[in-house]
Structure 1
Amino acid sequence: MATYRDVGIVLRTHKLGETDRIVTLLTRNRGKVRAVAKGVRRTKSRFGARLEPGMIVDLQCYEGRSLDTVTQAEMLAPYGDQIARDYPSFTAATAALETADRLSEEHEPVLQQFNLLAGALASLAHREHATDLVLDSYLLRALSIAGWAPSFVDCAGCGATGPHRAFNLASGGAVCFSCRTPGSSAPDPRTFALLAALLTGDWDAADGSDQQTRRESSGLVAAYLQWHLERGVRSLRLVDRTSTGAVS
């Protein structure tokens, strides 16, 4: 069987038998990969702790018919361990990992998704920004890469120059008076500004937002995500949004 090396982000794990795990990874070159890590649940496992959600590893695997097998794993970034020490960061990372899993296809590489997730985990681990801002920025950008880019300034329906006052999920974001349909909401203009900042990576503007604007923004991001994925991201319900800023 062919052997390969790649860099992967651990998305989730499942128990297999008494000592093994099935590890799902988003890899740089192969897309989503599911592999068996043998013996990792033993206390003396060589690389069990390296194959936990949120870790970035350099791994060697050999291909199998349905599941590959991990033969070596070297730690590149222990983000999972750092994130787990802070509950808001942990819940945000869990939602990001689940979203990445849902948006990725097995053996269909999307380097942009890999880089985006790695950047979000690094930001959460290093407490660079408020966790709710990091998560919402990640979700908006991940959806954009997947082909569902929202518009928060010009009309998502007809392209009319904005800003506009209405928001419609089905249309893809801000809508003008002519494109507004029943069921559209009317967010605060500051919320539209924050959403646009999160989508484009304007962290000066995002970090300066107030908590009420962030809450409304998060609600719209969650609704937009679940509209396009057609079913909820379960871990999003557990996200702790009590964090108000980065921790130095």
Structure 2
Amino acid sequence: MQMMQDLIVYVDESGNPGHGRGRYFTIACVVVSSENVKNIHRKMKRLCKKVKDNHPSRIWKRGEVKASSIKPFERSELIKQLPKNKINVFYIVIDKKWLVERMFKDKAISYNYWLRLVIDDILDYYPECKTLAINIDKRDIKVFSGNSFEDYLNIHLIYERNKDIAVTIDYPESHCNYGIQIADFISNGINYGYVSSKNDDNIIMNSINPLCRNHDYFPYNKFGL
């Protein structure tokens, strides 16, 4: 197991946490060490440029290549080219069929809880973590309260995990942050594997699996039934 003292986490979600619009909702975290951040961003920038070069007539909103805007095999090929030894993926998939009504009404509380489960998995994998810089796609702020999550996570770390970890949470615009764009491809690919009935749904997950270190299902005992 590789130990890292300073972690950068990029968070994105795919699907909808409310009623309808698909049965599954995914939150994915892409974890890199602080020393690898610049290399990861440069690599993703080059991969996105390659996609744009392959579609010279397409107009990209704010210049960003979104996973949902290209075909499954293109998503798979991009993910395959990410450096496997510098990126670790942790995620949770929620089966909305089994959520009680309050979890739909209190989306912020639900999102905070699910994301905290993934953060716990990350810290279990990196027990020597001292700093945790969490970057959440700015568009997700409408799903939950950023301030409430930061307070909730700090209380959890101090009083429930007895961890002295310096936590910072930022909300970058995805078109300005290649780490968030990687998380977009990962979360989109995972959720696509659960909601799609097409034959190509596995090719993306096959590209993601080598990067994955842990995943959760919620609720675990009824998931997918």
TM-score by length of 2: 0.24
Larger radius of gyration: 1
Task: From the two aligned structures, give the one with the greater helix fraction.
Answer: 2
Q: Which has the higher contact order (CA 8 A, sep 6+)?
A: 2
